[in-house]
Structure 1
Amino acid sequence: MADDPSSQSFFPLECRDQYQEAEQYYNNPLRVENRALKDEILSLKRLLRENSILWNSPMDAGHAPKRIKTRLTRSSFISASSVNSCPPLPVEIQLQILTHALTAKDPIIDPLCKLKMENLSEQEQKGRKHGYGQYQLAIGLLATCKAYHAEGTRILWTRNEFVFTTHQALREFCNVPFKFRSKVERVTLRIIAHYYDEEKKCPPPGPRRLRPIRNGGNAPARQRTVRVTDRPKEESTLARKGFRSYTWTQVIDFLSALRPPFDPSHTGSNPRPRLLPGLKSLRMDFVDFPAGFLRSADMELHSLAFHDLGCTLDELMVTGLPDCVYAAKVLIDLTGMVKDDGLLLKCKAAFIAKTNHLSARADCAPIAQVVRSWKPLAKEWGENFPDDFDEDEWDFHDYHDHHHHHPIGDLPVMPPAPEEEGHPESAWLERRTIWKRVPTSRDSAERKWVEFGRVMGTPVGPYSEARDVDDEGELVCPTCGIMHDPAGWEL
């Protein structure tokens, strides 16, 4: 077994793949459409030449045959207009038909972009083959008349959910009119880790076993097999070659695609809107992200999540994130996108990458937590702190609402997540809590009410009279004696 190349393990080099970027540029929807139009023009020119018609000579208007209006032509026009008009049905019925015909049961994957079969699960590939789900949409209704095109386009982009498997597909979504993009409230980013190999001395194409890394403790180190794409060897340069990965850098590319796209009609007086300004719920599926060997992303990920996209989501679900130090840092950065009092859901992996498809994992219950739910308590405590309190010990970095100005400059006050109504009455009489509707499982649309404690942001559990005490001292870190986010006390 020691000489078996498939049993060897390697450290991948994190970088973008040039071949994949070139392929995405070639398959850009605008370039594909231009190639199709050019081919159509050439075929029409060929048809004209075969019939001895000059395609580039303008026809003299004086020699053009004049159309004679007769009773027959008028009656034909009237009959044709009556056939092409909308059917004599009430408008409400027509809208119901359009909604039923243009609403997919399952999310639409990579709209406006070429779909890769290896990024689909077995069930999704089966649906594409047999024509159900998103592939059963009656898109032809949009070409029947202007009224159907206007209403059907609105239904198509506002009534469906979307899954993006590449950041290029997410960027192409900017071609959807802004009035429709602004109403999209929920999307899923399926971030599939890619591994490439272009050295002949490495094992043959197929799965690779990654070198095991111990994360501490007595837990045994385990190897992980991943899907590897074989690449032809490039020309002799000093560029990095061999076994490479495209993982955390891909997360940066996905988040960068959510930033404001270029709009030539935008005026400089108004702020540029993001790609999805109405986005409230985001799900990020991490596929084939093993623990240990992948290096954490640089400060660019923190800048995107905490600053460019900071405090914009009401809910964030993360699945398949590995259990290691590097992934923990990424999760902290991604939490910056969630508003105060927002909901953070962590689940096990939803997919595992196979040779030519994704294998779906069993459904599971999420681990729920409320983000920065302690801030209202800290604000109340800061407004009523005693006169002899030493302000130099205040942690301004984690909580700056006490002062009007932040040390690094004036920052806008971001509104918290809206409070959900209709929740049950709390059994905790004095302890401050917050209610959230949490999904019963990772892939289920059913939700249940869960009560969270504001100090730690975790479910409160059974009622206890001894714990039902409203003490501001719970917000003070027992290690440093400073009030800051309880999630970072151990750090």
Structure 2
Amino acid sequence: MNWDPDEHLLPEEVRDQEDQAKAWYDEPTRVLNRKLQDENLRLKRLLRENGISWDDRLVTDPHDPTKLIWAETPRKRTRTSGAFMLLSPENKHLPKLPTEVQIQILEYAMMSKHPIMDPLCKLNREAMSAAEKARGNQIAIGFLATCRAYHAEGTQFLWKHNTFIFTSHANLRYFANLSLEHRKNIRHIELRIIAKYYDDEPRKHVAPYPSMMNVFMRLIKIKTIPQPKENTLARNGFRSYTWDQVVDFLDALRPPYDPNHPRGKPRPRLLPGLKSMRMDFVNFPDNFLTPSGGPSLHNLASHDLACTLDKLQLTGIPDDDWGYEMRTELTCMVKDDGILTLSDSAFVYTGNTLRSMESSPHWRPEWLPKLVRSWKGLAQEYIRDHKAKGLPPPGRLGHHHPGLPPAPVEEGHPKTQWKERRTLWKRCLITQDTDAEYREWLEFDRLTGLPIKEQYEAMADYYDPEDLLCPDCDILHGDYNH
């Protein structure tokens, strides 16, 4: 396939004003308020037409319809009366299960086999594949309405034992309405970032399919959202919302405002217990997008959210200069000795439908894992050895993150065969299937961060700490990679 970007019109990266206004208008709280206001107006009109006051403490006197009297307060059912009802002869045939069994049933009922999409928000069916649309109810949500005890216990199971997919940064921001008590138990989320394109002229746009591993070498038709022409240079022509959308997703993960948070203490992030994250880039073609993100992306990934994840999975990120820059910035969110895995696109949006690449017979992409800053521990050890011997430091330590702990060591791994070579074991994904993420143990070289594929050889069993020192900048950063 010969595709020259100079022969095609490339989009300009900008946030669409209409999309932002619609997201503000469709925010779930505002939608609920509008519904409640309309319902209150209808009820008040109905009461007024029938001569009834909307104050529940006043009712019409049955002997004199022109007068209002105070209503008698109904007797509240006590715990004794409720228990009497449960022990009545009509309910004696109901089974009595131990509390432990009821809790186990409730926990099982609140666990979904598949990730839950856009919790607490209206589903966006355009961001769902055919298999996701065909799924029915994944959890027995009606369990929570049974009683207060089931609601309290089941809510904790719901947010603790499930994973979630967010297709919009607005839905991710609305997640801040959930109590921190539940948000802190979430360990893994997935962000499905679908590129959006706009045009104020009826033109057709094509781009190479975003394939990092050259699985598909063909062109896809870019879906554009028609926009009216405006007499302004700020919003016209062919535009895209891609890299800025990534910035908006990351910005939604920052600490939300909590009026009850004690002063003088740092506010926790949206998901303070998050350990791993998957980001699916959909329709981000190679050599097609203009650069954006800039300082905002760097400040978010390298400062606000730096060193917060043990594992990060990226699919469909372009294999060009801007995609490499984006990948480098996102890697800063991973802790030292954490794992970064890359893979080909998991979805493609074409024909007004989000298609999962799992159904394609030619789609067999592999995960490309790499350890993040695994050389730092070796560099610190190298510096300590020099100081112990009374020698000057060999060089400055690059990518220094004081006070931020590395990713924890995973237990239960096989025994290494290397004696001198410094290695680290990690359990890594071997398939993109979100319903069955198989993992296997891989042994990584701490110096390069890459998995060791060769068998043990005495000639390859060595470790030279001087390889950490870059001859060009006199900085310790493994594999000569800044």
TM range, normalised to the smaller chain? 0.7 to 0.9
Other-structure match for 2:70: 64
Deviation at 1:177, TM superposition (A): 0.9
Whether contact under 8 Å (2:470, 2:480) holds in the other structure is no
Other-structure match for 2:381: 380
Other-structure match for 2:467: 474
Give the direction of change, closer, same or farther, for the CA distance of 1:150–1:16 in structure 2 (3 Å limit): same
Pairwise mapping of residues 376-415 of structure 1 onto structure 2 (< 5 A)?
Answer: 376-385=377-386, 394-396=395-397, 398-400=398-400, 412-415=402-405
Please identify, of 308-317 and 36-45, the stretch whose mean Cα deviation from structure 2 is larger: 36-45
Deviation at 1:355, TM superposition (A): 3.4
Please identify, of 421-430 and 359-368, the stretch whose mean Cα deviation from structure 2 is larger: 359-368
Structure 1 residue 184 corresponds to structure 2 residue 192: no
Count of residue correspondences? 448
Structure 1 residue 208 corresponds to structure 2 residue 205: yes
Q: Deviations over 1:54-82 (max 9, x none)?
A: 3369628994355798xxxx989943797
Amino acid aligned to 1:196:
Y
CA distance in 2, matches of 1:385, 1:77: 75
Structure 1 residue 422 corresponds to structure 2 residue 412: yes
Amino acid aligned to 1:307:
H
Please identify, of 9-18 and 379-388, the stretch whose mean Cα deviation from structure 2 is larger: 379-388
Partner SS, residue 423 of structure 1? coil
Amino acid aligned to 1:126:
A
Structure 1 residue 240 corresponds to structure 2 residue 246: no
Give the direction of change, closer, same or farther, for the CA distance of 1:64–1:241 in structure 2 (3 Å limit): same
Other-structure match for 1:36: 35
Partner SS, residue 317 of structure 1? strand
Give the direction of change, closer, same or farther, for the CA distance of 1:101–1:232 in structure 2 (3 Å limit): farther
CA distance in 2, matches of 1:146, 1:378: 55
Other-structure match for 2:361: none
Partner SS, residue 301 of structure 1? helix
Q: For 2:159, which of 157, 160, 166 is the aligned residue?
A: 157
CA distance in 2, matches of 1:265, 1:75: 38
Deviation at 1:84, TM superposition (A): 11
Amino acid aligned to 1:317:
Q
Partner SS, residue 396 of structure 2? coil
Partner SS, residue 314 of structure 1? strand
Give the direction of change, closer, same or farther, for the CA distance of 1:42–1:81 in structure 2 (3 Å limit): farther
Amino acid aligned to 2:326:
V
Please identify, of 297-306 and 270-279, the stretch whose mean Cα deviation from structure 2 is larger: 297-306
Other-structure match for 1:456: 448
Q: Deviations over 1:399-445 (max 9, x none)?
A: 54xxxxxxxxxx64210100011111111011111000111212242
CA distance in 2, matches of 1:111, 1:209: 34
Other-structure match for 2:64: none
Structure 1 residue 110 corresponds to structure 2 residue 112: no
Deviation at 1:143, TM superposition (A): 1.8
Structure 1 residue 79 corresponds to structure 2 residue 80: no
Deviation at 1:303, TM superposition (A): 1.1
Deviation at 1:237, TM superposition (A): 3.2
CA distance in 2, matches of 1:313, 1:448: 20
Other-structure match for 1:52: 51
Partner SS, residue 245 of structure 1? strand
Give the direction of change, closer, same or farther, for the CA distance of 1:310–1:84 in structure 2 (3 Å limit): farther
CA distance in 2, matches of 1:285, 1:210: 18
Whether contact under 8 Å (1:10, 1:210) holds in the other structure is no
Q: For 1:290, which of 285, 299, 323 is the aligned residue?
A: 285
Other-structure match for 2:478: 485
Partner SS, residue 408 of structure 2? coil
Give the direction of change, closer, same or farther, for the CA distance of 1:319–1:51 in structure 2 (3 Å limit): same
Q: For 1:333, which of 322, 329, 348 is the aligned residue?
A: 329
Give the direction of change, closer, same or farther, for the CA distance of 1:100–1:473 in structure 2 (3 Å limit): same
Pairwise mapping of residues 134-145 of structure 1 onto structure 2 (< 5 A)?
Answer: 135-145=137-147
Whether contact under 8 Å (2:467, 2:479) holds in the other structure is no
**Structure 2: gaps (5+ residues):** 1-6, 62-67, 359-363
Give the direction of change, closer, same or farther, for the CA distance of 1:379–1:429 in structure 2 (3 Å limit): same
Amino acid aligned to 1:169:
N
Sequence identity percentage: 46
CA distance in 1, matches of 2:396, 2:445: 22
Q: For 2:428, which of 429, 435, 438 is the aligned residue?
A: 438
Amino acid aligned to 1:122:
A
Amino acid aligned to 2:460:
R
Structure 1 residue 350 corresponds to structure 2 residue 343: no
Give the direction of change, closer, same or farther, for the CA distance of 1:92–1:242 in structure 2 (3 Å limit): same
Q: For 1:465, which of 448, 451, 458 is the aligned residue?
A: 458
Q: TM-score, normalised to structure 1's length? A: 0.84
CA RMSD, aligned part only? Answer: 3.0
Partner SS, residue 460 of structure 2? coil
Partner SS, residue 384 of structure 1? helix
Deviation at 1:156, TM superposition (A): 1.4
CA distance in 2, matches of 1:292, 1:102: 44
Other-structure match for 1:193: 195
Give the direction of change, closer, same or farther, for the CA distance of 1:50–1:97 in structure 2 (3 Å limit): farther
Deviation at 1:190, TM superposition (A): 0.5
Amino acid aligned to 1:449:
W
Give the direction of change, closer, same or farther, for the CA distance of 1:26–1:67 in structure 2 (3 Å limit): closer
